A and B are shown apart, each in its own frame.
Chain A
């Protein structure tokens, strides 16, 4: 068999065999969210948010269970200081945060290795004087707790119940959730 035919055969065989691609090739759009049992602790919407204590980028200690009751809700946005993160954060800063003065907004930096590095990243990205409080998740503890990644946006109400845990997208879902808070 000529070399070019062998190559084509390899291409055809290897491409579909290597991936995790079925959901992209044939997306379903079905609602497959798992049922959540009220009162349990976990990262799913409707569950009690797992508590955490972490340092912010100024060295202050932040504990979720102490902070959440002081506000109508707490928002956690997970950032790695990338262009998508920046566009989400600047959209929140300019268009969402001013509408919800009784909500506390945290940006969770899960890529910086120290509190000082998180502060440097915050300042160099133009968020030094912003309404975001940056949390330095140097061990990715909060990231793992909420099964989060870049762009994940978590809303926790004052009773500690998770109201949202998904990608920020265009911010519409976040405002819907904040508007629906009791």
Chain B
């Protein structure tokens, strides 16, 4: 396969992943918890750095029955995140990733306002690529069953509670940048491209580890044990690839639309289920990625939108997330 074709495939794969993995950092100043955006190294690269900046603007919430409720009048809740990520190839099929966000909470109600910041929860990951080379199909002619086989990547990701959680020495829920729990996620990414189209599917399931709690928002309390609920994520993305000639150089534009569903089960306190916890959220994401033909540089912009209607989530805030990022891959 020509190198250009392989790299085109890599570009599409990255664009798909960009659309899938930077799911909303499930953070609100009320709910706690920013998490780093995902990161996967393209097949041809030995390492990669990635930087992105998110602006998340909250817009009401779904209650436990799935009914959409507005925030009080005069409310403006925002979170800004600077995400830094690094990926390193360990072996032909193995790679490791690390990413961490820095978070600014900007909270305004009609009666008070607050601006706080801090590091968020770090994500460490290991990915296994179940393929030796990216397989790319140009067009639909003479398509065989073998051509339809997707590239599969499997990963484990550990969320490390480096953020400011409700269990740290903080004064208010407005200070929160992390959830305070270790969580291990198993991820599976399937991707298939038949130029100019691509389809990606991401599925993950995560389990948080139980921990003791002896303090809430700076106040020591009677110790208890708490475990967040299991979390499942599914996301489907479709992409369209376009080539653009600028002078003597060729660039790749990739447009991606994704639908994502996230569910988290009930927390457990001293072993008993907490009926007030757990959530579900559906969202759509549009991503535009601009890459050099050698795939070493990618600039991407995305918009994640919660569907402002009853039934598209429960017990969780709605938001729009605007993200702008750049990644640099090293061969």
A and B part of one assembly = yes
- B220 at interface (Cβ–Cβ under 8 A)? yes
B163 and A21 form a contact (CB under 8 A): yes
Chain A residues with CB under 8 Å of B252's CB are none
> A7 to chain B: which residues have CB within 8 Å?
49, 84, 86
- The answer to the question of A165 belonging to the interface, with a C-beta cut-off of 8 Å to chain B, is yes
A28 interfacial contact with B, CB 8 Å = yes
Kindly provide the distance from the CB of B216 to the nearest chain A CB, expressed in whole angstroms.
Answer: 5
Nearest CB of B to A165, in Å: 7
Min CB distance, B262 to chain A, in Å? 14
The CA-CA distance from A10 to B276 in the complex, in Å, is: 40
Give Cα distance in the complex from A33 to B171, angstroms: 16
A85 smallest CB distance to B (angstroms):
7
B64 touches A86 (CB 8 A): yes
A14-49 with Cβ < 8 A to chain B? 14-16, 18-21, 23-25, 27-34, 43
When A81-B71, A82-B317, A83-B30 are in contact, do A112 and B86 touch as well, CB less than 8 Å?
no
Q: Which residue of B has the minimal Cβ distance to A122?
A: B72
Say if the beta carbon of B246 comes within 8 Å of chain A: no
Within 8 A of B (CB), among A119-177: 120-121, 124-126, 138-140, 147, 149-152, 165-173
User: A167–B221 Cα gap in the complex (Å)?
Assistant: 9
Q: Which A residues lie within 8 Å of B47 (CB)?
A: 4
Q: Is B316 an interface residue (CB 8 A)?
A: yes
| Given A4-B47, A24-B180, A15:B109 Cβ within 8 A | no
- Whether the pair A166, B221 counts as a contact (CB closer than 8 A) is yes
Give the contact stretch, choosing among A58-66, A67-75, A87-95, A98-106.
Answer: A87-95
Query: Residue B311 at the A interface, CB < 8 A?
Result: no
In the bound assembly, the distance between CA atoms of A170 and B266 in angstroms comes to 10
Whether A147 contacts B218 in the complex (CB less than 8 A), given A24-B162, A24-B178, comes out as yes
* B330–A2 touching, CB < 8 Å: yes
Contact residues in B for A172 (Cβ distance below 8 Å): 269-270, 272
Least CB distance from B263 to A in Å reads 15
Cα distance A2–B86 in the bound complex, in angstroms: 13
8 Å CB interface, B298-323 against A: 315-317
Q: Which of A12, A24, A140 has a CB less than 8 Å from the CB of B168?
A: A24
Given A82-B61, A149-B173, A21 and B276 contact (CB-CB distance below 8 Å): no
| A111 on interface, CB distance cutoff 8 Å | yes
Q: Which residues of B contact A (CB under 8 A)?
A: 28, 30-31, 47-49, 61-64, 69-75, 84, 86, 88, 98, 100, 102, 109-112, 118-119, 122, 160-174, 178, 180-181, 211-225, 267, 269-270, 272-277, 279, 315-317, 328, 330
Could you write out 13 A-B pairs with CB less than 8 Å apart?
A: A4-B48, A4-B328, A7-B86, A8-B98, A18-B118, A18-B119, A20-B118, A24-B167, A24-B180, A83-B316, A121-B72, A147-B171, A172-B270
Given contacts A20-B118, A33-B221, 12 further A-B contacts (CB under 8 A): A23-B169, A27-B211, A30-B214, A31-B214, A32-B220, A87-B277, A112-B110, A126-B69, A169-B276, A170-B267, A172-B270, A173-B222
Residues of A within 8 A of B (CB): 2-4, 7-8, 10-12, 14-16, 18-21, 23-25, 27-34, 43, 80-88, 90-91, 110-114, 117, 120-121, 124-126, 138-140, 147, 149-152, 165-173
